Amino acid sequence: MTASPRQQVTGCLLAGGEGRRMGGRDKGLVPYQGRPLAAWVLDRLVAQTGTQFAVANRNLPDYANLLQQAHATPPSGVPAVLPDAPDLPVASGPLAGIVTALRHTATPWLMVTPCDTPHLPDDLVERLLAEAERCGAEAVVPSTIDPDGHQRRHWVCVLLHQRVSARLAAMFAQDERKLRVCIQALNWTSVSFADANGFDNINSLETLNGRN
């Protein structure tokens, strides 16, 4: 029996940032409309992917509890929450988390989402995966149009094929830290979404206070 599309995808909540714009607070655990920010993101991941886990560098038990509350299903043999791999330099940005996640991904695809985007579209994974399969891409990112008419690509919200794991690790080893640069070195494409609010980053105290 052929697996459903969502069973081909592992969801990864990326929560390894230092929260500098949040005054050092762990962004994913900051309350937003009555729940931690990450809880909203996990709801989207669990609904759209077959298995789910998180990469976080602090408060790992708290994230494990959030995954449990979201009824997440970690991949077989993989902890619900992983820190960045110990052989990677500390505080190396989202690429370190993605390299770590790909090492633990057994499905063909990995859907990476940051922990501070609580309004992700309900059809995010479906549309990115369909485009990947249509054009043979190994990386797909969503894009939206800013009020000024410029296209914005959301690089940290990316669908990646597992086969890119070694290439991303090699770029990281060569001291590349810009995720955009790494994705653009792959066979990549983007999918346009009409609702830009779906990808809003609530990554500062000012933004958070304006939304709560």
- DSSP class of residue 195 equals -
Domain topology for 5-211: Spore Coat Polysaccharide Biosynthesis Protein SpsA; Chain A (3.90.550)
Q: What pLDDT is recorded for position 61?
A: 96
User: Measured between alpha carbons, how far is 94 from 17 in angstroms, rounded to an integer?
Assistant: 7
- Rg of the chain (C-alpha set): 16
Using CB atoms within 10 Å of the CB of residue 100, give its burial: 0 to 12 exposed, 13 to 18 middle, 19+ buried.
buried
- Over residues 182-197, the mean pLDDT reads 94
Find all residues with CB under 8 Å of 91, minimum gap 6, and list them: 18
Task: State residue 144's pLDDT score.
Answer: 94
Q: Give the mean pLDDT of 180-205.
A: 88
Q: What are the angstrom distances between the C-alpha of 83 and each of 17, 66, 100? A: 11, 16, 8
CA-CA-CA-CA torsion sign (173, 178, 181, 187) = positive
- pLDDT-derived band at 202, boundaries 50, 70, 90: confident
Residues 96 and 89 sit within 8 Å (Cβ to Cβ): yes
Tell me the C-alpha distance between 207 and 192, whole Å.
Answer: 24
Report pLDDT for 212.
Answer: 59
What are the pLDDT digits (tens) for 103-121?
Answer: 999 999 999 999 999 999 9
Closest of 63, 25, 22 to residue 45, by C-alpha: 63
Give residue 21's pLDDT: 57
Helix, strand counts (H, E) of the chain: 7, 10
User: What is the model's pLDDT at position 89?
Assistant: 85
Collapsed DSSP state (helix, strand, coil) of residue 55? strand
With a cut of 80, say whether residue 18 has pLDDT above it: no
The lowest-confidence range among 29-33, 76-80, 202-206 is 202-206
pLDDT higher than 70, residue 1: no
pLDDT tens digits along 139-170: 999 999 988 889 999 999 999 999 999 999 99
62: which residues sit within 8 A by CB, 6+ positions away? 26, 29
Q: Select the more confidently predicted residue: 90 or 113.
A: 113
Query: Residue 90: pLDDT band by 50, 70, 90 thresholds?
Result: confident
Q: What is the mean pLDDT of residues 197-206?
A: 74
- Quote the pTM value: 0.92
Given pLDDT bands bounded at 50, 70 and 90, which one contains residue 196?
confident
DSSP 78-143: --SEEPSPTTSPSS--HHHHHHHHHHT--SSEEEEEETT-TT--TTHHHHHHHHHHHHT-SEEEEE
